[in-house]
Structure 1
Amino acid sequence: MAAEHDEVPLNAIRVFVTIAREGSVTRAATALGTTQSSVSRYLAVLQEYFGTDLVQRRGRQSELTEFGRLFVNTVAEPLDTVCFTAKRMRRRSGPGANRIVVRTSLSTFAYSFLIPNPEAFSAEKGGLIVDVISSLSPPTSSDNFDVLITRYLSVIEPADDWEIYNEQLVCVGSPNHMAGKTLSTVRSMPILNITSRPDILPTWNLSAKDIKSGARYDHNYLALPAVITGRCLLVAPEITVSDLVREGVLHVIPGSRTPSGMQYRAYAVDRSDNPEIAREFCRWVARLCRRTAIREAA
Structure 2
Amino acid sequence: MATEDNEVPINAIRVFVTIAREGSVTRAAGALGATQSSVSRYLAVLEDYLGADLMERRGRRSELTEFGRLFANTVAEPIDTVYFTAKRMRRRNRPDANRIVVRTSLSTFAYSLLIPNLQAFSAEMGGVTVDVISSLSLPTSSENFDVLITRDLSVIEPADNWEIYNEQLVCVGSPNHVDGKGLSIIRSMPILNVTSRPDVLPTWLRAMNLTSKDIKSGARYDHNYLALPAVMTGKWLLVAPEIIVSDLVRGGVLHVIPGSRTPSGMQYRAYAVDRSDNPEIARAFCRWLARLCKKAAIPEAA
Normalising by the residue count of structure 2, what TM-score does the alignment of the two structures yield? 0.79
2:12 and 2:42 in contact (8 A); partners too: no
Opposite residue 138 of structure 2, the aligned amino acid is P
Aligned to 2:299: 296
Structure 1 residues 55 and 238, CA, compared in 2 at 3 Å: closer, same or farther? closer
Aligned to 1:155: 155
| Separation in 2, partners of 1:116, 1:44 | 50
Matches within 5 A, 1:124-273: 124-197=124-197, 198=199, 199=202, 200-273=204-277
Opposite residue 165 of structure 2, the aligned amino acid is Y
Structure 1 residues 235 and 87, CA, compared in 2 at 3 Å: closer, same or farther? same
Normalising by the residue count of structure 1, what TM-score does the alignment of the two structures yield? 0.80
String of CA shifts for 1:69-109, please: whole Å, max 9, x gaps: 98777545423321222224431534332211111121111
Structure 1 residue 249 displacement after superposition: 0.9
1:14 and 1:79 in contact (8 A); partners too: no
| Separation in 1, partners of 2:40, 2:74 | 21
Structure 1 residues 96 and 180, CA, compared in 2 at 3 Å: closer, same or farther? same
- Residue segments in structure 2 that go unaligned for 5+ positions in a row: 57-61
Opposite residue 286 of structure 2, the aligned amino acid is C
Cα RMSD (Å) of the superposition? 3.8
Structure 1 residue 279 displacement after superposition: 0.6
String of CA shifts for 1:248-267, please: whole Å, max 9, x gaps: 11111111122222221111
Aligned to 1:90: 90
Structure 1 residue 124 displacement after superposition: 2.4
String of CA shifts for 1:109-152, please: whole Å, max 9, x gaps: 11100010011111222321111122222222222221111122
Opposite residue 87 of structure 1, the aligned amino acid is K
Query: Rg larger in 1 or in 2?
Result: 1
Structure 1 residue 35 displacement after superposition: 11
Aligned length: 287
| Separation in 2, partners of 1:211, 1:142 | 46
Structure 1 residue 53 displacement after superposition: 5.0
- Residue segments in structure 1 that go unaligned for 5+ positions in a row: 1-5
Identity %: 71
2:12 and 2:45 in contact (8 A); partners too: no
Structure 1 residue 272 displacement after superposition: 1.2
| Separation in 2, partners of 1:180, 1:138 | 44
User: What secondary structure, in the 3-state scheme, does the structure 2 residue paired with 1:97 have?
Assistant: coil
Structure 1 residue 204 displacement after superposition: 0.6
Structure 1 residue 179 displacement after superposition: 2.4
